[in-house]
Structure 1
Amino acid sequence: MSKLILLNLSAAILIMLWGQTDRLEAHGNMKNIHYGTAGEYDLKISIIPHEPVSGSVHFHIEPTLSSTTEPIEKAIITVVIRQGENAFQSRAVNSPSSPTIYDANLTFETPGEWEVEIKISTHPNIEDKLSFQLSILGAGSATSNAAGIFFL
């Protein structure tokens, strides 16, 4: 019995030391939906899911300085969504591991055309913005060829 435990422990240690592990990427598989200029900044905006449906949508914003294409690491970025009289906003935040990428999550309550406004500021009392339209599908309207596998 002790030999079996020792063998399993040795195998676990070997796997940990030499095993190949893939790094998970939080910013992978994004769909670029808009590229525009707000003041002196170029903004690349991407989302997940690729076909946005009513519910939660993850926004991914990559700002660069228009004149130099240098990534911006210290900005205040806010994402505002509007449809009719409904409006919601969320601060987009970066992280020490991805200082040039800003992320925000917003919930679209109804399908239809929504206005998306991205506000950016790197100086006190100076804010630039850009706006574009985003079409949101109903929750049951999303089309996909994905299938699930179930194990019994």
Structure 2
Amino acid sequence: MTRVTEVIRGWLGLCPHGPTHKTRTFPNPGDTCQVPDKPSPHPAAPPVTATADSRPAYQENFLLILLLLAGLFCLVDLKMLAIAGVFSALLVYYDAQTLHAGEKFEKESILGDVVTWRPLTWALAVLIIPLIFLAIYVFSRKEIFDANSG
């Protein structure tokens, strides 16, 4: 039995008599790296130029759509609706960040156009009234993407 615990401790690095494993993946700031003197035998790749078609393509977020549909079933129990509201607010916040929601606009128009809303505004709106603002976000997501990525 003690042999098994010694082996497990050795794997975890807890045993002073076990093998030492380096777990560091990044060099220390003071470490220096050796750079080879010979040039690479492979020719340099031509520089890549950005074109108008190189912007990322729009993709639907099916998790938000499923969450919206699941929220309709949560209307029976208010505790489940509150939990789904918090979860959907977090999801909308991170999704709006990936869409760069509101970045192209200097001023955020709360009562105006929804493409100017920033991620925190979307998250708070979904947290306050989950199903209505989640539906608005899901249906206007492509418009938000187009307005802020072009």
The structure richer in helix per residue is 2
- Fold conserved (TM > 0.5)? no
- Radius of gyration: which is bigger? 2
The structure richer in strand per residue is 1
Name the TM-score, length of structure 1 as normaliser: 0.21
